[in-house]
Amino acid sequence: MGKSRMGTWLLIAAAGAFAAPLTWAAEGYPTKAVRFLVGFAPGGANDLVARVVAAKLGPRLGQQVVVDNRAGAGGNIAHDIAAKATPDGYTMVLASVASLAMSPGLLGKMPFNPISDFSPVAQLVDVSCLLSAHPSSAAKTLKDFVARAKQQPGTVNVANPGRGSIAHLAFELFKATAGISVVNVPYKGGGPAVIDVISGQVETMAGVISTGAPHVKSGKLRGLGVTSLKRSPILPDVPAIAEGGYPGFEASGWLGIAFPAKTPAAFVKRMHKEAVAVMAMPDVREQLQNAGLEPAVKDTEAFRGYIQSELAKWTRLIKDAGIRAD
């Protein structure tokens, strides 16, 4: 055998030797616990989604999925840790609309790039918002609310959980769509806002559906419209804003899973497969829906495209409305 042919065979053999461990690593993944970063403190909706999903992912993966709450900066601290982590498949983050689509427009300068620094795995849930009013309000319907806001611009007060929150921005999008002018009343969270609306201090409120739904059901608030494209299963009698003369209107928050950029595609594919299986489980769907969270799975490429379109949408809205974070 000539030297040239011998060299070729040696190169092929060497390539096979290196490829085998990589293939084995992909098939054997994971071999240790996976860290699941969450950008908010225990007890909220973000934490609930992570813990419900992690509890089911672990047995399917054959390794524990450990929820790691790194609260602060509207979720950006956890996302920054994830973006800078080793892309080995053992660190992932609960990707949120707040950090990947809203914060760039609100803050301008970010410690990470919401597109290039992450490898999306799958969207998990949508988080709808609710426009509601005190029962004594003259606004019995969304149409009434819009008519009054147009007849008396700048006089209708609308509470929200905080400037730059998903509920605030969703309502800003509706204001722009409907062509109305109202007075935003930002609070430090949805709890204080809903208390003041129930007590009659403020007439109307834009909040996440999980905050207002119990009070709509009890009659303490009147639901005027939800921001999801269709009616929410937890408030089936409250119409979607899209039904009220604004076809196609949708302004929902969302949560999903993302790895750091450059995580091996085989690991992304495995995690996506198991996440989709978990989200199809009836008990998982029930737990999330009872908390006002709507399962809404998107695959890897669809989720990547959705993040890009959401970033463009919210950045444009924030700029046009002149909104800045508190």
pLDDT average, residue stretch 285-308: 94
A 10 A CB-CB count for 275 gives 24
Quick one: CA dihedral 281, 283, 287, 293, positive or negative?
A: positive
Which residue's entry shows tokens 């929150």? Answer: 165
Model pLDDT for residues 96-140, shown as the tens digit of each residue: 999 999 999 989 899 999 999 999 999 999 999 999 999 999 999
d(CA 283, CA 185) in angstroms, rounded, equals 38
| DSSP code at position 239 | P
Give the helix/strand (H/E) hosting 103. helix 103-107
For 157-191, b/e burial (b = at least 16 CB within 10 A) is bbbbbbbbbbbbbbbbbbbeebebebebbebeebe
Q: Roughly what angle, to the nearest 10 degrees, separates helices 282-290 and 45-61? A: 170
d(CA 224, CA 207) in angstroms, rounded, equals 12
pLDDT(10) > 80: no
pLDDT(197) > 90: yes
Distance of CA 33 to the CA centre of its chain: 24
Model pLDDT for residues 32-46, shown as the tens digit of each residue: 999 999 998 887 788
d(CA 134, CA 136) in angstroms, rounded, equals 5
- What is the C-alpha radius of gyration for the chain, rounded to an integer number of angstroms? 23
| DSSP code at position 200 | T
Matching CATH topology for 32-126+252-321 and 129-244? yes
Q: Are strands 157-160 and 129-133 parallel, antiparallel or unpaired?
A: unpaired
More confident residue, 186 or 269: 269
pLDDT of residue 259: 98
More confident residue, 32 or 176: 32
Edge to edge, what strands does the sheet with 129-133 contain?
183-186, 157-160, 204-208, 129-133, 222-226
More confident residue, 154 or 2: 154
d(CA 251, CA 240) in angstroms, rounded, equals 11
pLDDT(308) > 90: yes
d(CA 250, CA 170) in angstroms, rounded, equals 8
Task: For the chain, give every domain's residue range.
Answer: 32-126+252-321, 129-244
- Four-way CATH pick for 129-244: 1.10.10.10, 3.40.630.10, 3.20.20.120, 3.40.190.10: 3.40.190.10
| 218 backbone dihedrals φ, ψ, rounded to 5° | -85, -10
**CATH superfamily of this structure's domain 32-126+252-321:** Bordetella uptake gene, domain 1 (3.40.190.150)
DSSP β-bridge partners for residue 255: 96, 125
Edge to edge, what strands does the sheet with 118-127 contain?
65-69, 34-38, 91-96, 253-260, 118-127, 294-298
> pLDDT grade, residue 16 (50/70/90)?
very low
Side chain identity at residue 135, one-letter code: P
pLDDT(7) > 60: no
Which residue's entry shows tokens 């689509």? Answer: 101
